Amino acid sequence: MVDLHTHTTFSDGELIPSELVRRALVKGIEYLGITDHGDFSNMEIIIPNVVKVAERINSFNLGIKVIPGIEITHVPPSLIADAVKTARKLGARLVVVHGETIVEPVAPGTNRAAIEAGADILAHPGLITEEEVELAAEKGVMLEISGRKGHSFTNGHVALLAKKFGASLVFNTDSHSPGDLMDREMALKVLMGAGLSEDEAEGVLKNGRLLAQKILGGM
């Protein structure tokens, strides 16, 4: 099981990284992305500290690997490309962009800007357009199927368009509290609830694993 979008007390999560890692391990998660909400005001604080935590945990054989990242959140679309570059320079191995979920006032144009900037994952992209999904397929940007309340409302729309245009999907919980974490069985249920077959759902989980392994191979 892989979860590449989670939050800690570095932003609006309830758990410090060590407790998040422990709880994730109990859920059977083998690869965990810590991607707290960031912009130009706090990335220099969050990313180096998460990098240190990840390095320490990954140096031991605990059964889980941590990937240090960031979720670029509510940054104006015109500044997203710069934010992605800055995050990578600061040591983020995984860059997620907070997409145009229907339950938050995200600026129009965020989805497209994130895809054009080459983010790894566009989180909860809401009512993403066909043109944007086609562009994500071309750019290799993964679209998230979300396990989080509210953000999950448009999972079916995202899955349908991803299948139509060949965009890659990834499942994440977007965990902010202990109860948000999911095991593999629940993740598959969420994916099939989005209209995917069991085989397609398994493929989405595999996508997350392949991305995690690719990132870790470069660390």
Do 192 and 13 touch, CB atoms closer than 8 A? no
Which DSSP category does 106 fall into? P
pLDDT at 94: 98
**Per-residue pLDDT tens over the stretch 130-143:** 999 999 999 999 99
The pLDDT-based confidence of 219 (bands split at 50, 70, 90) is: low
The yes-or-no verdict on residue 150 having pLDDT over 70 is yes
**Per-residue pLDDT tens over the stretch 158-213:** 999 999 999 999 999 999 999 999 999 999 999 999 999 999 999 999 999 999 99
How far is residue 129 from each of residues 27, 29, 144, 158, 217, measured CA to CA in Å? 34, 32, 14, 9, 33
pLDDT at 47: 98
Which residues sit opposite 169 in a β-bridge?
143
Q: Token pair for residue 109?
A: 């144009």
Q: Token pair for residue 214?
A: 């690719």
Task: Please tell me the pTM assigned to this model.
Answer: 0.97
Range of the domain at 201: 2-217
CATH number of the structural domain spanning residue 50: 3.20.20.140
Averaged pLDDT for residues 110-114: 99
User: How many independent structural domains does the chain possess?
Assistant: 1
